[in-house]
Every structure is written in C-alpha cells, then in structure tokens.
Amino acid sequence: MTRKFTIAVGSDHAGPLLKAELMVFLESEGHAVLDLGCPVGTERVDYPLIAKAAVEKVASGEASFGILVCGTGIGMAMVANKTPGIRAANCHTEFSARMARAHNDCNVLALGARVLGPSLALAIAKAFLETGFEGGRHAERLALFS
Ligand code: RB5
C-alpha cells in the first residue's frame, strides 16, 4: 500500500483547474492536502509567491512533498530550488517522476498545465508519490550538492 502523505499544492493562474483535479485525486488516494492557492478564476498571480509559500511547508516539515503547477512547470521548479532542502523537478513523464524520487530524493514535483493533459499529470503525480528514494550511492551524490 502506498504511504499517505501531507502534500502542499500550489498553482499560478495557469494551473488552478489542474490543481483542483490533483487535489481531488490526492485526497481520493488518502493523502492530506494543504492548498496554498491560487483559486480557480484568479486572473493573475505571480508563480514565485505561490512556489515560496508551498515549499516553505515542505522545508518546515509540515508537508512531506509539494506539487506545484504553472504553465510549463519551469518557473515553479526554478523558484522552489532556491529554498534550502528543496529538490524540485519539472517532470513530463512517469519515468522521470519515478527517477526524480528514486535517484534524486525529489521532494517537490512541478507540472506544466499547458504541457500536460490532466490524465498524464495525475499519473505523473501518482508515480512520484509511490516511489521511494533508493539511498546508497544516490545519497552520497546528494551530499555533494552543497
Ligand atoms: C504564466 O503566463 C507563465 O509564465 C507561468 O505559468 C509559468 O509557465 C512560468 O514558468
């Protein structure tokens, strides 16, 4: 059985519909969700503000993982990776999501709402959450990050 997590989610104006679908999916899988915005219908919100609010929940330990959505996933990942302790990856495939967890102990998944259809986005999130970090040589490499 997949472990249950608390997951901080956030999107800018490009992603609230996908975020809403993700939230339904995550809760249906038994995870707890912290929603850092933005709501559906938001005209404009700057992704760095949402990314920082969400990854703070991960960095503090309040959430185990973050899932961030913007148009491409690129900006969210860039901002997330500036916070110490955050390892964010912008994933377009289930394989990359599994590898981000298994080899990089990734704790923030960034998704592009203008890149991925919702079914693929949910499958990527599922793959991400059900994969554990392998440790060993990969942990040694993480220790070389800083
Ligand atoms: C917003 O138009 C867009 O720039 C943003 O969602 C994101 O794709 C940035 O990386």
Residue 105's pLDDT is: 98
Residue 116 CB coordination number (10 Å):
20
Question: What residue's CA is closest to ligand 1, atom 7?
Answer: 71
Per-residue pLDDT tens digits for 9-57 = 999 999 999 999 999 999 999 999 999 999 999 999 999 999 999 999 9
User: Residue 113 is encoded by which pair of tokens?
Assistant: 């709402």
Instruction: From the CA of 72, give the closest atom in ligand 1.
Output: 8
pLDDT band at 1 (very low <50, low <70, confident <90, very high): low
Domains of the chain (ranges, CATH numbers): 6-143 (3.40.1400.10)
Cα(3)–Cα(78) distance, rounded to whole angstroms?
Answer: 27
To the query of whether residue 70 is one of the catalytic residues in this protein, the response is yes
Enumerate the β-bridge partners of residue 34: 8
Contacts of 3 (CB under 8 A, 6+ apart): none
Rounded to the nearest angstrom, the distance between the alpha carbon of 15 and the centre of ligand 1 is 9
Share of the chain above pLDDT 90, in %: 97
Q: Write out residues with Cβ below 6 Å of ligand 1.
A: 12, 14, 47, 70-72, 74-75
pTM of the model: 0.97
**Pick the catalytic residue: 38, 70, 91, 106?**
70
Residue at token pair 């969700």: 33
**Beta-carbon count within 10 A of 27 CB:** 12
Q: 88-90 and 32-35: which strand pairing? A: unpaired
